[in-house]
Amino acid sequence: MDETRIPLIGEKFPELEVQTTHGARKLPQDFKGKWFVFFSHPADFTPVCTTEFVAFQKRYDEFKKLNCELIGLSIDQVFSHIKWVEWIKENLKVDIQFPIIADDTGNVSKKLGLIHPGKGTNTVRAVFIVDPDGVIRAILYYPQELGRNMDEILRMIKGFQVSDKNGVAIPANWPENELVGEEVIIPPASDVKAAEERLKKYECFDWWFCHKKL
């Protein structure tokens, strides 16, 4: 993969050997057969990042129920990560149980497009959602000043799993969509006959907008 461009949705997550707070890891191989959320944060010992790590840890069991692991990253050294995790445990009574990559060389950040010069030299708040086959399914980028919504990341993984299992699309704000509630969207018809049959088989606003309960 060209290191000068950001990996794209639908591509394989780049093969990386990284050093983490849990020892050396190989990505995406070490998570084969599992979903994983790879996320970067600007720096250890910063307020917004601390709120994010606590929020991720508070939901870690929910991620694991979805066969999903978490792995963080910043350009800090591993000793800084370790000390920060200790600080969080001692002062906030939260034990961070997922690994954090120490990208002090910046090589991983460059490969994944995590440093945006217009926002400084630290990594931005990036999120890569990767499926059990190592394919990137979603990419999110947030600036340093805005913390992420972890419930949305959980919702996205649930949505991908429902979509993959049932061959459907997921509406906005699912499972509380303003038009179809917790129902899901039927993929577009491929021909006239299929379009006519859909109107008989599903609830539809029109032939191109049909939905169903799971």
- Cβ-based neighbours of 34, under 8 Å, separated by 6 or more: 67, 68, 69, 132
**Does residue 71 contact residue 99 with C-beta atoms inside 8 Å?**
yes
- Please state, as a whole number, how many other Cβ atoms lie within 10 Å of the Cβ of residue 130: 24
Strand 136-142: give its sheet, edge to edge: 23-27, 16-20, 100-102, 68-74, 35-40, 125-130, 136-142
- Please state, as a whole number, how many other Cβ atoms lie within 10 Å of the Cβ of residue 41: 28
Q: Two tokens at 188?
A: 């577009």
User: Among this protein's residues, is 49 annotated catalytic?
Assistant: yes
**Does residue 62 contact residue 156 with C-beta atoms inside 8 Å?**
no
Q: How far apart are CA 192 and CA 148, in angstroms?
A: 43
Q: Choosing from 49, 68, 204, 210, which is the catalytic residue?
A: 49
Q: Two tokens at 24?
A: 């050396």
**Does residue 113 contact residue 6 with C-beta atoms inside 8 Å?**
yes
| Catalytic residue list | 49
